[in-house]
């Protein structure tokens, strides 16, 4: 049979099931909504289903009529290679989607973004009176020099926060933390939940979803979350999307359709976790 005839027969057969496939938005071969995740990375995900990405996966799986399954691997160890791209000969991929990746991340095919957040400054109210009036980075930088020099500011290494400290001559006040730690008991949020809450730090500068979530989680002392605006030389705000394997165009289109369909659900989930959002909900597909 010629290639042209083969294509014709395939097209004729496809017509009968085309509308059903479009309505379902998923291949008939897909038996589950299979998510790649870090097993202990709140507020984003964990194996107990307590994270933002777990809740999003539940919404998407229900919309597709598919059960949600997880393939877990620590993000600190070549995460994409060992999850989305991992496949043994003769076997299927163990998972099909990353529920949160930055726009521009080139290891996966990135969908349109579903939210934009920014880094935040977190500190305890009523502990250091000088900080109580701070509502912006401008307010913070206007504090008396002797006050700024007395602060212990927790930041993760190689982050915009460390760049910001350097730009504003506050490196000596910085307390560095390693984002990628081989200790399985370590989790990024402990900079707030443990060290800031206990008074070991005066201020923590972290990615917004982390700051918002753990600031809500800590009951005492009450914590203030101040979003930080990007400035020349330091970018704080980033758009977040989902990631699939390169070449899976239909699957990517399905996910983008779900993002559009469930905008209200997405916003509600983000709000419930205290995620600080920047601007209107993003809608454009990244280049």
Q: What residue ranges define each of the domains in the chain, with the CATH number in brackets?
A: 18-115+240-272 (3.40.190.10), 116-237 (3.40.190.10)
Query: What pLDDT, on a 0 to 100 scale, did the predictor assign at position 261?
Result: 98
Question: What is the mean predicted confidence (pLDDT) over 117-133?
Answer: 95
Query: What pLDDT, on a 0 to 100 scale, did the predictor assign at position 181?
Result: 67
Query: What pLDDT, on a 0 to 100 scale, did the predictor assign at position 282?
Result: 59
Question: What is the mean predicted confidence (pLDDT) over 153-170?
Answer: 96
pLDDT band at 273 (very low <50, low <70, confident <90, very high): very high
Query: What pLDDT, on a 0 to 100 scale, did the predictor assign at position 179?
Result: 76
Query: What pLDDT, on a 0 to 100 scale, did the predictor assign at position 29?
Result: 81
Question: What is the mean predicted confidence (pLDDT) over 1-9?
Answer: 40
Q: Name the residue among 146, 113, 104 with its Cα closest to residue 128.
A: 146
Q: Is the pLDDT of residue 118 over 60?
A: yes
Angle at 266 between CA 92 and CA 263, to 5 degrees: 100
Query: What pLDDT, on a 0 to 100 scale, did the predictor assign at position 14?
Result: 36
Query: What pLDDT, on a 0 to 100 scale, did the predictor assign at position 49?
Result: 96
Higher-pLDDT residue of 270 and 11 is 270
Question: What is the mean predicted confidence (pLDDT) over 93-102?
Answer: 97
- Of 137-151, 176-190, 256-270, the least confident: 176-190
pLDDT band at 164 (very low <50, low <70, confident <90, very high): very high
CB atoms inside a 10 Å sphere around CB 147: 14
**Tens of pLDDT, residues 234-263:** 999 999 999 999 999 999 999 999 999 999
* pTM of structure: 0.85
């Amino acid at each position: 049979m010629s290639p042209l005839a083969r294509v014709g027969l395939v097209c004729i057969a496809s017509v009968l099931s085309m509308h059903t496939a479009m309505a379902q938005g998923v291949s008939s071969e897909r038996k589950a909504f299979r998510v790649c995740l870090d097993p202990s990375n709140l507020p984003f995900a964990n194996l107990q289903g307590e994270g933002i990405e777990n809740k999003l996966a539940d919404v998407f799986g229900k919309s597709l009529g598919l059960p949600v399954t997880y393939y877990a691997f620590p993000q600190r160890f070549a995460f994409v290679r060992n999850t989305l791209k991992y496949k043994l000969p003769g076997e299927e991929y163990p998972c099909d989607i990353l529920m949160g990746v930055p726009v521009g991340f080139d290891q996966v095919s990135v969908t349109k973004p579903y939210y934009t957040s920014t880094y935040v400054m977190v500190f305890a109210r009523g502990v250091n009176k000088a900080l109580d009036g701070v509502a912006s980075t401008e307010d913070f930088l206007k504090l008396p020099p002797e006050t700024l020099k007395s602060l212990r500011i927790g930041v993760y290494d190689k982050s915009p926060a460390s760049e910001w400290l350097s730009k504003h001559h506050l490196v000596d006040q910085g307390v560095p933390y390693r984002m990628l730690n081989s200790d399985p008991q370590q989790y990024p949020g402990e900079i707030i939940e443990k060290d800031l809450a206990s008074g070991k730090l005066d201020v923590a500068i972290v990615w917004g979803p982390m700051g918002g979530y753990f600031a809500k989680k800590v009951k005492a002392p009450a914590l203030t979350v101040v979003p930080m605006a990007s400035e020349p030389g330091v970018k704080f705000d980033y758009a977040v999307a989902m990631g699939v394997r390169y070449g899976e165009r239909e699957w990517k289109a399905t996910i983008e359709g779900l993002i559009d369909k469930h905008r209200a659900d997405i916003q509600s989930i983000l709000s419930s976790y205290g995620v600080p959002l920047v601007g209107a909900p993003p809608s454009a597909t990244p280049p």
